[in-house]
Structure 1
Amino acid sequence: MSKDNKQTGPNQRMLRVGELVRHALAAIFARGDVDDDALRGAVITVPEVRMTNDLKIANAYIMPLGGLHAEEIVAALNRNAKFIRGRVAPQVNMKFAPEVRFFVDDTFEEASRIDALLRSDKVQRDLDEDDGETE
């Protein structure tokens, strides 16, 4: 059986490098190393960095505090990606530093949407009906 077509999750190395890049990005943002008007005063969190299989691209998911101006901040980070890559390189100790691409992290928004659905009257009514049938 060939492994070529098999889809698997990230391996240990991808996870480890992703975590190193995440920590490096968080430190860069905390120090305010990136000089861009859109980033002034922004507190940016980096919940996740996903590496490609070849470790050449780091997809960094970011969220500014409060979610304000997320798209503008992502655009500013992508404009400064080469500079950021240069700052990340010495911290990840790899032969080649990965290209960093920034995206808005929507997992919190998605979790809130699911939570709101689960708390909706219709779902609560369905749950109450199910409770009555099992007794």
Structure 2
Amino acid sequence: MQESKRQKQVGQIIQQDISDILQRMGFNVIEGGMISVSSVKMTPDLLEARIYLSMFNIKEPKEMLGRILERGSEIRKELGNRVAKQLRRVPELQFFLDDTLEHVFKMEAIFKQIQDERDQREKGQQ
């Protein structure tokens, strides 16, 4: 189902605020890697936010997600302080790993391998 204009607006507000909160908590650059909020999807009643986190160069993304989940109530409280004037109720937060970036890197590696094999065959034919 298509997101409403209000869902998108609230999602953008929450995405910006969660990014800032994670940065202040020290989660944006950690262990030589980066964590960013790739998207936020709101339920139609605006009571639940599904937050998708992209993790780059993090050795154990699931473990890192667990560390963020442990501090979920703290993150929600901080979010509540920020959006109190814009929303009647602070949405429940659900965090998910966004593995799109991982798939992009895998696909690039596959394409590079195919190109290298094609180049090798062309060299062999000459």
- Partner Cα distance (2:55, 2:106) in 1: 19
Displacement, 1:15? 1.1
Identity across the alignment (%): 25
Displacement, 1:96? 0.3
Specify the alignment match of 2:106 in structure 1.
113
Specify the alignment match of 2:10 in structure 1.
17
**Residues 62-117 of structure 1 deviation map (CA, whole Å, 9 limit, x = unaligned):** 13342332111111111221111111113232000011111111111122333444
Matched, 1:95 2:78: no
User: What are the within-5 Å matches in structure 2 for residues 70-81 of structure 1?
Assistant: 70-81=61-72
- Which ranges of structure 2 fall in alignment gaps of 5 or more residues? 119-126
Number of matched pairs: 112
Matched residue SS, 1:67: coil
- Partner Cα distance (1:31, 1:58) in 2: 20
Matched, 1:62 2:70: no
Match of 2:22 among 24, 29, 33: 29
Specify the alignment match of 1:3 in structure 2.
none
- Partner Cα distance (1:15, 1:40) in 2: 23
Specify the alignment match of 2:124 in structure 1.
none
TM-score (norm 1): 0.69
Q: C-alpha root-mean-square deviation of aligned residues, in Å? A: 2.5
Matched residue SS, 1:27: helix
- Which ranges of structure 1 fall in alignment gaps of 5 or more residues? 1-7, 34-38, 126-135
